[in-house]
Amino acid sequence: MADTPNARSHIGSLSRRMMVIAAGWIAILLLLGGIALDRTLTNLVTRNFDNQLGYMLTAMIGSAEIGPDGEVFFNRPLGDQRFLEPNSGLYWQISGKGHEDFPSRSLWDRSLKVHADHFDNAPHIYDSDQFPGEPLRVMERSIILPGSDTKWWFTVAESRTELDGQIRRIRSILAWSFLVLGLGLFLMAVLQTWYGLGPLRGVRLAIQRMRTTGANRVTDPLPLEVQPLVQELNALLAHSEKQAEEARTHAGNLAHALKTPLTVVMNAATARAPDLPDTVIREAAVMRRQVDHHLARARAVGRRAVGQARASVAESVEAVLRAVTRLYERTRFDLDGNRDAQVAIERQDLDEILGNLIENAAKYGGGSVFVTLDAVPGSELCEIWVEDDGMGIPEAERERIFDRGARLDTGKPGTGLGLAIVRDVAEIYGGSVALEESEDLGGLLVKLRLPRARGAG
C-alpha cells in the first residue's frame, strides 16, 4: 500500500541529527585537542633537543682557553665521541676575527657559517640548511675569553634527523590515537542515541499494540521525560473517545426521535387516512424540531473540539439586543454588570444561547427585560442573568420546560426547543442553566452559568 503524503512528510531523522551533531563536535574537539597536544609535545621534544645542545655549548666554553700563540684550545677533550667521527651529524666550531676557524674533526673538510656581525650574550638557536641533505639545528654564542680581546663565536650544531624523526613518530601516534578515540566516541554517541531514543520507540510500539489489541490507553511504564507526551496522548485518546461516544449518542437519539414520527406517517400513508396531509405536516414539524435540536448540539460539540474558545459576554449580548429590539420594539431592554467578562465558549454558540433566552424573555414578558453580566463576580463560573416581568414559570414546571418540545404557552409561535438547546449547549461547554423567580421584576429569572475564559476576569 502506498504511503499517503502525510505519512511520508517529515523533517528528517532525529537520530541522524543527533549523530551528525555528535560527530561534528567530536571532530572539532579532537582536531583542536590534537593541534594543541601536537604543539605541546613538539615543543617539549625540541626543547629537550636544544637543552642537549646547550649542555655541549656550555662544556665547550668551560673547556676553552687561550694559548701562548693567541689561539683558542680545549684544556680537556669533549666527551661525545661523535665530535671525532667525520660527518657524524654532531659538530662544533670556534671562530674569531683574524684567526683561523677551530672546527671539530666531525666537520672534516666543511665549516659552519657563522653570522659574526653581532654579539650574543645568550645562546642563539636557529635551523640551518647550509649542508645539502642535512638540516641542522644550530646554537651559537659570543664569548670574550680571559687573556684575549677577540670576540670568539662558539657554535655547536646537530643534524635534525633524529629530532624530525621523533616529531614524526609523535604525530603518527597522535593521529592513530585520536582516530581510534574519535571512532570510539562516535560509536558511543551512536549507542547513546540508540539507547536514549529507545523510549520513543517504546511509545510507537505501545501505540501499535494499542491499535492491534483494542486498548484505549498507553499504560506502559516510560521515563519521566516521555511521560508528559504519553499523558497528552492519553488525553487526546480520551477526548476522541468522548467525541465518538457523543456522536453515537446523538445519532441514536436522533434515530429514536425520528422513528415515531416516521412510523405515524407510514401508518397513515398505508391506511390511506383522510387526514394524511395534516399528519405529514404535523409529524414533519416534529422531525424538523428534532433535527434542529441535534444539529445545534453537534455544532457545539464540533466547535468545542477545535480548541480553547473565548468570547466577550458584553459584545454577544449587545449584538443579540440589537436584533431582538427590532422584533419587540415596545419592550424595554436594560443591560448592567461587568462588561469585561469573557467566557470559554465559541461566540456563535454564545449568541445562540443568549438569543434564545433574551427572545423568550421579550416574548413571554410584560414589556421589560433586564440582563446582568457577571452577576456573581469572583465565582469560578461567569453568571449571566436574564430577567423579565412576565408571569414566570411555576416551580413544579421548571424542570419539565427543558424537555424537547415542551411549551407552557401554546398561544404564541415557537418550537419548544429554545431552553432545551440552551441547556444542552451550555452543558457541552461545562456550564448550566437554572430557572428562578425574579425578585426585582417578578417574572422569570434565568441564571446561565458558563466557564470563564483563561486569564479573563
User: Could you tell me what percentage of the chain is helix, strand and coil, using 3-state DSSP and rounding each to the nearest 5?
Assistant: 50, 15, 30
Closest CA to 419 of 436, 431, 403, 442: 403
281-312: b or e for each residue (b if 16 or more CB lie within 10 Å)? eebeebbebbeebbebbbbbbebbeeeebbbb
pLDDT in tens, 356-394: 899 888 888 888 999 999 888 888 899 999 999 988 888
pLDDT tens digit sequence for 339-358: 999 998 888 888 888 988 99
Q: Cβ–Cβ contacts within 10 Å for residue 18, how many?
A: 17
Positive or negative, the CA dihedral 203, 208, 212, 214 is positive
Summarize pLDDT for 241-258 with one digit per residue, the tens: 777 776 676 666 666 567
pLDDT per position as a tens digit, 298-333: 665 655 544 467 889 999 999 999 888 888 888 899
Domain ranges of the chain: 9-196, 245-303, 308-451
CA distance 211 to 183: 41
Q: What was the pLDDT predicted at 35? A: 93
Is 308-451 CATH 3.40.1740.10? Answer: no
Q: Decide: pTM greater than 0.75.
A: no
Contacts of 403 (CB under 8 A, 6+ apart): 420
> For residue 286, what pLDDT is reported?
67
